[in-house]
Amino acid sequence: MSKELMQEKITKAQKEIEAKKDMIKMGRMRQHYHFMAQTGWLNDPNGLIYYKGKYHFFFQYNPYYGFWDYMHWGHAVSGDLVHWEYLPLALAPSEEYDDHMRGGCFSGSAIEHDGKLFLMYTGTTHNGQGYEQTQCIAYSEDGIHFEKYAGNPVLTAPEGVAKEHFRDPKVWKHEDTYYMVCGASREGRAQALLYRSKDMLHWNFFNVMAESRGEWGFMWECTDFYPLGEKYVLMFSPMGSGEHTAIYQVGDFDYGTGRFYAHISGEIDWGFDYYAPQSFQAPDGRRLIVGWANEWEWMPLWKDWGPTYREGWCGFFNIPREVRMMEDGSLQFLPAAEFQTIRKNPEQADMILVSEEEKELAAGDGVSFELKFKIDLEETDARSVELSLRSGEGKRTVCLFDFKTAEFRVDRNESDGWSRGISRSVMYLKGKKELDVHIFSDQSSLEIFTDRYQNNHSNNIFASDSQNRLWIRAYGGKAVVKEYESWGLGECFA
């Protein structure tokens, strides 16, 4: 009966999607090239994997309306990471361990095992004693239709770990053993718990892989772990750690003890809207990550999260990023090269002299575009450079490169009449001759990469089509911009 009940719920959700998708596609705030669901609410990326010649994106999904509720797993595939085909939902709440209106099939990951596609996810329910989270398995012969394992749940919260804070399993294989790391909270401090298995079905606790002493909050969501070069990377999104939304740590890992030793910590993104990134390996060996363009602290505003709720949807993914390691062991996060294939209408200039008088720049239609340039620090004597994006109707988003205070700021207080906040990060300028800037603008978002892709800001804005002008100016002197390139970016959801 279990399999039939889940299929019944998937069929019901698919009818809802079919009935609403064409209307929702017409929403004014829908993205042009960022991944979205067809209807409803989307949050964490799940189960990212390259399987049988296709990239698979699974995602946290409420297909019924544009706020968080009753979590399913949506599913889409792509041959190029840019254009996507939606498949039937992979998972729906159907069992005692995952069927609750404020619960469901929470986040997890995917792996190939015995020729099948296995999903490991968190089941969340409430049986009168608070929320309970457990780790569960589903599998598929064809990579499309999934069946939940009869032995679920395969893991429950260990002693001392809060039952409502035990989630988001990320699974991988090393030699002949499967490993899984998930987030937990013990005595108010965050932990990454490590488990292992020989068959993907029977799991044993191995060790606390890593933990917070308070500096990284009380819970790590969406922990991820992978090798990069000679080192290992642990990623997590900390709850209760201020504006930090996505953290990475680089260090060494001992498969003999299951312990991770971190040497370097850094921010994946300094913006307000980058959360829960999950990694996977492309067939060419690149380590790619995809994040949710939102973050958990806004989720209590479920009933009116921004303008898109009124259009029947909410949420999208940031563009995939390639993870690379610098010589000092810190990480870069570069936009996936596949997005170069949708460039059109190029503009370029070898050098632009910027003064205190605003100068207009050209980039596509001013709404959906990519923009790259460098600020020549040796020829620039200005105190700061201000770049205004998505300007019009008295609104704009302001990027300020402040060379005096060595700070980069993105101010969206005048972006759209709704968004608020200024994201800030340090610019490390010592000994540098230039500052590189790379921007992706879409209908409802700005992703700004600077300083060799180590200083990145993702911020959602909800700007109209008439907010399509770009301006640049300098304060306290002149600035020299060189190697200016821009493109319009094509529609991927026609």
Nearest 5 degrees, angle CA 466-CA 467-CA 470? 130
Rounded to 5 degrees, what are φ and ψ at 168? 70, 60
- Shortest CA distance to 352 belongs to which of 292, 437, 276? 437
| CA atoms of 176 and 118, how far apart (whole Å) | 16
| CA atoms of 384 and 434, how far apart (whole Å) | 14
Given a contact cutoff of 8 angstroms between Cβ atoms, the answer to whether 336 and 323 are in contact is no
> Computed over its alpha carbons, how large is the radius of gyration of the chain?
23
Give every CB contact of residue 41 below 8 A, 6+ residues apart in sequence: 61, 62, 65, 66, 67, 68, 69, 313, 314, 315
Q: Identify the H or E element spanning 22.
A: helix 2-25
| CA atoms of 389 and 384, how far apart (whole Å) | 16
The encoded tokens of residue 68 equal: 């968080």
Catalytic residues: 44
Q: What share of the chain is helix, strand, coil (3-state, %, to 5)?
A: 10, 55, 40
Distances (CA, A) of 359 to 285, 356, 382, 470, 481: 42, 9, 15, 8, 12
